Amino acid sequence: MKEMYFRIHKEGEVTYEVDKSKFIAFGKAVEDEKDVANYIERVKESHPGANHYVHAYVIGKDGYAQRSNDDGEPSGTAGKPILELLKQEKVVDSVIVVARYFGGIKLGAGGLIRAYSKSARMLMDKSGIATMEKFIHVKIPFEYHLWGKGENLLHQQKGFYLMNIEYSQNITVIGYIHPTQWESIEGNLRDLSAGKIEIDRLGEKYLEIYKKKVYI
């Protein structure tokens, strides 16, 4: 798995007007091309009177699917500038759709490129770009007499994010550890328990980090 990648943080909408034409940009994170198709239909249904529904998207952490569509605008003046912006910012698993209402004044090829690029940039600025970082999903068992010190240790430990605590015969902590902090956390828990605590690896998962906040 890649250590990290970037995608649109939250679904957004912005409007940009130039020479009486209105460009309404929409964008969100997506899982696959079916998700993209459904989102484009949602935009069309919300703006049935638009003249064009231009879009671009990149799917896959390595960008294996990259597509754009001018939807009737002159070739290369609409979808391509949006796609180039996504690639420039290294944003994947994301789609941007721009609904255009023609205002009666032709913008020319250069004007269209600037307008679609501008609306897409405004959308990305509003929605934000999140970093998706790889974490190790873990289960950590604690005997009750160790839990007080263990809880303090985990709260102070960088790179650990708590998901859930289960209480039964022992206390089981479910959470995520950043790979760079694995050795530190494992060593601290070993010292705390005289080697009795063993971290159970449940797998790996990407967590979204935006402005230093982690979304689990």
Phi, psi of 7 (to 5 degrees): -150, 165
Q: What is the pLDDT of residue 1?
A: 73
The whole-angstrom separation of Cα 83 and Cα 165 is 43
Q: 67, 57 in Cβ contact below 8 A?
A: yes
Q: How do residues 66-101 score in pLDDT, each as one tens digit?
A: 999 999 999 999 999 999 999 999 999 999 999 999
Average pLDDT over residues 142-166: 95
Which option is the CATH number for 132-215: 3.60.10.10, 3.50.50.60, 1.10.220.70, 3.30.70.240? 3.30.70.240
Interatomic CA distance for residues 52 and 116, integer angstroms: 12
Model confidence at 200: pLDDT above 90:
yes
Say if residue 183's pLDDT is above 80. yes
Task: Establish whether domains 4-127 and 132-215 are of one fold.
Answer: no
pLDDT at 2: 84
- Tell me the C-alpha distance between 190 and 83, whole Å: 49
Angle CA 20–69–89, to nearest 5 = 90
C-alpha triplet 34, 5, 212: angle, nearest 5° = 115
Percentage, residues of the chain above pLDDT 70:
100
pLDDT at residue 21, as a whole number: 97
Confidence of residue 9 (pLDDT cuts 50, 70, 90): very high
Task: Count H helices and E strands in the chain, helices first.
Answer: 5, 11
- 4-127 — its CATH code? 3.30.230.30
Taking the domains of the chain in order of start, what are their residue ranges? Answer: 4-127, 132-215
Is residue 112 classed exposed, middle or buried when 0-12, 13-18 and 19+ CB atoms within 10 A define those classes? buried
